[in-house]
Structure 1
């Protein structure tokens, strides 16, 4: 049994980490969050210590090192994106391996710094890249790898996840903290595209504002038109009034069905990490580079054929 700490216990994704720790038969020793709305802990690990001040959390975690039975083995991080680097390095310096939600960090410079802290501490950083464990994604990857055609696949990626007014008032709506829509809701899709279709060769930004972004990516084995949005007005008429989210990936005009199969992906990710097969800094580098370039890029359209149909009317 391994001892875990969890940073960001009141976040949206934190219960999946708590569940994964429990289902891999490990111990959630201590949690931290500046907010105290963390009653979910009672249904998973009511004996866990909890702190709302980072200094008290860190002091407690450091004291646990004095006993081999209580010392922490892992720190799991579900905090806001802009705090990932600080919380990861704190976990490493506590002598723990670290499991962090995506985006691991926003820039290549911070990614390289994490690699240095890994060397300094002898500990390891793992990124949750759960779509790499989804069976539909694995099946498509296998199909692409077994293809004998030299033609690149034609891919359309559309993800609209409606968000209310609260979103822009939270850290997620502040680009200094979330790093924008393409990073906050898109980074795991960009990782998935790299995982399936190989190295990125082109990265063009077509449109970006506070609530949506669109562009064109060309990989070794695919040409991809992508559109990401948190604006409910972008939902297609076929789903308006029925569901707040629209997710579609087509490959050569064939829809990839992966609406289900998400329930246990964090637990699978933890199982792989604990077995020594987790995804580390270099595995995350490609998607960090992708979103970093998107944020730094200026809008540029080479041909209308490369523009996603959902954004053509907004250009």
Structure 2
């Protein structure tokens, strides 16, 4: 049964923590090592779909909210997503010794995540308002989100990017997972249908098969495999005991994904050349994972330390992360 309070749900923090480790490891393999495509594909299958699915899960608010409350929440969310987009993309440009506009980071990969998630928030806020105003049910909501996704696909076909303000390709990839997260939180029947022992078994098979065929670069294969991966990881994280030390560490990472994502690029895309020379050698699949994981742990710890230093002062916390309240650990 879904918890309808706003208390933290432990497995969601574990999922985000695991996804964040996958993101950092994937970028280490991509930027710092001559990694095969398969190790990166293994992590990229689920890392961003998990983030967007959980973001959608948290985006849904049960009960009636005033327009003022909805607007206030959206303003806070906008500040928390767009401030890091601008500030950290500028810092990354400085570290890389280049001078480009922050929006160029959207085109080059960088911090597109913040902008794509913001657009999903915009769309979901409008959908939530329409759904509550017109008393939509499950069928109407499915039709509503499907229609919006069709519009997004048309925007992708027409290559509508609004001068870089709309990363349409990323929104196309991840909006379905965001919408699914909302539907899982809103309708217990969907939650139960998505997460059960049968979907877990099917998801595990889907991940293995989809990972093998990832070289085909098919969106249909990606979406199906990602959904299976989200189900597998969600179900697995539900079984993690809360009292073990590594679960606490994973939870801390999950609660601080925003600063880790923002800061980790500084330690990866600007790797010293000597480190490139050390790790840039042919090696097997398993060794690539071990090295990437070890370096990812170091990077995450450094990111958390920097975040704590920045977050000591409310002014610097607002400037760098757009947040007024200090995040819990």
Query: Greater helix percent: which structure?
Result: 2
Greater relative contact order (CA < 8 Å, ≥ 6 in sequence) = 2
TM-score (norm 2): 0.25
Which is strand-richer, 1 or 2?
A: 1
With normalisation by structure 1, the TM-score equals 0.26
